[in-house]
Amino acid sequence: MLSRFFAPQIEVQAHCDLPCGVYDPAQARIEAESIKAIIAKVADSDDPDFRTRAVLIKEQRSELVKHHLWVLWTDYFKPPHFEKYPQLHQLVNEATKLAGGGGGTKATMDADTADQLLAKIDEIAEIFWETKKA
């Protein structure tokens, strides 16, 4: 029994953090839609406890948007995609900033910012789905 405990372990490696190969910008979009809905609900509420909780959830969702976009950017999109779609780096950069704390949805309750974020995600999704056809 003791020998099994000290036996060499098998080392396993994956080429990325999502070895299943399932990528979809819809994950980022769902979080961004949640952000927009939270902004609307907060605008309609006078309950300070609800508003505090909603802001915290909105900030978490903003981080998830950035995470999902970064996974696409770093794990799914490859050099041939960036060559064919040279605007892709800029789109991902703009989208993650729109989800971030420097005036993005993490830091603001502005519905227009949420709409801009959704629009950027849609642009990224359009490119994503074009790459899946190839």
If you average pLDDT over residues 50-76, what whole number do you get? 96
The answer to the question of residue 47 being in a domain is: yes
The answer to the question of residue 64 being in a domain is: yes
Query: 95: domain CATH number?
Result: 1.20.120.400
Residue 42 belongs to domain spanning: 25-133
What's the total number of domains in the chain?
A: 1
Q: What CA–CA distance (Å, rounded) separates 70 from 110?
A: 23
- Asked if 19 and 35 count as a contact pair (C-beta separation under 8 A), the reply is no
Q: Coil, helix or strand for 76?
A: helix
- Count of Cβ atoms closer than 10 Å to residue 110 Cβ: 13
| pLDDT at residue 4, as a whole number | 59
The answer to the question of residue 1 being in a domain is: no
Q: Is the pLDDT of residue 129 over 70?
A: yes
| pLDDT at residue 19, as a whole number | 57
Q: Which residues contact 55 (CB under 8 A, 6 or more apart)?
A: 42, 109
Q: What CA–CA distance (Å, rounded) separates 67 from 99?
A: 10
| pLDDT at residue 15, as a whole number | 41
Task: Tell me how many degrees the CA angle 54-22-132 measures, rounded to the nearest 5.
Answer: 110
- Asked if 1 and 53 count as a contact pair (C-beta separation under 8 A), the reply is no
72/8: higher pLDDT:
72
Q: Is the pLDDT of residue 13 over 70?
A: no
* Cα-based torsion angle of the residue sequence 15, 20, 26, 32 in order, rounded to the nearest 10 degrees: -60
If you average pLDDT over residues 108-118, what whole number do you get? 97
If you average pLDDT over residues 32-45, what whole number do you get? 97
> Above pLDDT 70, what percent of the chain?
85
| pLDDT at residue 134, as a whole number | 72
Q: Is the pLDDT of residue 89 over 90?
A: yes
The answer to the question of residue 3 being in a domain is: no
